[in-house]
Chains A and B, each alone.
Chain A
């Protein structure tokens, strides 16, 4: 009797999960598997696509550029996030809501639209260049678009909220009595920051940095539009293997490499950081 009830319950659970799992398998897992299999079935030899990617100076340059841009974007985000996260953690009432919406609003706008906006602003004769020239800071228009400068500006803009929110979340959970205690015990401002505030913010900062770095590695739209041919990233290379060269085995090998890098970094961070489960729940 009891086992009949249990087995019916289990049956229902399976039936609830089955449709989504089957569709996920058909439209996601199997296509990924088929793509990755192309990396190993090249007529030239099993490991040839990987060897090509690793040995060609052009491709190595692309991988290096991807890493440099991702690191720079992460570093810039880590700096810019501090004041916003701190002010958010101290504000109350209407001002808090306004500031929070300021951080969340960009999330709701398509990355394509935001990137297009930056194209208008960074153009050769765009408002930013005219402002810089008008204020006498530059002699003439400078190239802000179709190079790494443009890519980094656009990517920082898109990814900054991913750094602000975990950092803010870490800051709100700091017991302010610790800071008072440190102050009362005679520690200076810098000491209190360095020895109490910073270490307590570190999990949030590291979580945000991981997010931003991982998202940067796979970024496509923004580098493709703001960087163009002068600032190629790994994701653009993968797309061009498919679209321009029909080199499926290279696209597959590049995709697999990108995914493995992402998973590796995720695994390492999960090991090193005691990221609480509730951290990103908000």
Chain B
């Protein structure tokens, strides 16, 4: 095994390249599709043009959906980051069965199939009048994002030595001072990572949003979802391309932050 015969090595590498190509390349098909000149999607386009980008920006429904998505994602991220960070710090102070049990509870939204969560939230939103509202979707996305914050901040907290906290409070620092001067600076990369995950989770989420959006507050993925089922115009590809670009940008930010975490500058 240490020295595979040549044919097996070549075969393995080719197979791996093919599978990697299968993973990456199909995603990019929407990019040329968005530059179609025709009013239907043809791949590869016979003629290129940016006309569908203009159409996207001119159309009030698409524009609003993009703004709705950003609003929902910001709100969901803000709540998830605050609640998740506090919870992660609290979890670290627990031991044994309590910690395991409560952690499992926080991770549960990742395990329950999203359709089940969506239907449950839809029913309750109908009852309390949050159906079709930005707040309702934000709360739903916040629940899906919470595990990412708890995990990311929890990992960052492993780098905070208990003795530093004891020393700081022994020197007379109150809980808030200790948090602000010792804990927070050390877990900032974890918080940023959790925030990026939360934002992407909300911005990309479609199942909960489809159930909760109603008629007037569609998010971008909901608008894409509905448009796909109506007709295949290149404007959908424009919206999809925008989502890819945003994901890559946030991905790069997260990478920069996490590489900052590893360089021992302090």
Contacts and interface: CB of A to CB of B under 8 A. Distances in A.
B60 to A, nearest CB: 22
Given A114-B27, A117-B26, A157-B22, A183 B2 contact: yes
A103 B120 CA distance: 33
B56 interface: no
Nearest to B5: A189
A232 to B, nearest CB: 13
Interface string A44-61: 000000000000000000
Contact of B123 (A35, A235, A259): A35
A21 B106 CA distance: 8
B221 A112 contact: yes
A36 to B, nearest CB: 8
B85 to A, nearest CB: 9
A16 B87 contact: yes
A145 to B, nearest CB: 11
A141 interface: no
B81 to A, nearest CB: 11
Given A24-B146, A84-B16, A17 B207 contact: no
A109 B90 contact: no
Interface size class of B (residues with CB under 8 A): 35 or more
A137 interface: no
Interface string A88-113: 10000000000100110110111111
A39 B240 CA distance: 38
Given A116-B240, A242-B122, A17 B102 contact: yes
Contacts of B84: 20
Contact of B115 (A38, A161, A176, A255): A255
Interface in A255-280: 255, 258-259, 262-263, 266
A189 B30 contact: no
A179 interface: yes
A92 to B, nearest CB: 14
A40 interface: no
B93 to A, nearest CB: 4
A99 B247 contact: no
Interface size class of A (residues with CB under 8 A): 35 or more
A235 B1 contact: no
A234 B243 CA distance: 28
B104 to A, nearest CB: 11
Contacts of B221: 110, 112
Contacts, number: 232
Chief secondary structure at chain A's binding surface = helix
Given A102-B24, A108-B248, A109-B243, A32 B120 contact: yes
Contact of A255 (B28, B29, B87, B120): B120
B111 A114 contact: no
Nearest to A127: B43
A221 B207 contact: yes
Interface string A221-233: 1000100000000
Contacts of B15: 83
A146 interface: no
B112 interface: yes
B27 A182 contact: no
Contacts of A160: 19, 23
21 contacts: A12-B93, A16-B87, A20-B150, A23-B139, A23-B143, A34-B120, A38-B123, A99-B16, A102-B23, A108-B200, A110-B204, A117-B29, A120-B30, A120-B43, A180-B2, A192-B1, A196-B1, A218-B115, A220-B113, A221-B207, A262-B111
The 5 closest A-B pairs by CB, nearest first: A218-B113, A16-B90, A110-B204, A20-B87, A83-B15
Given A34-B127, A105-B24, A112-B204, 9 more contacts: A32-B116, A35-B116, A83-B16, A86-B16, A110-B203, A117-B29, A127-B43, A189-B5, A248-B123
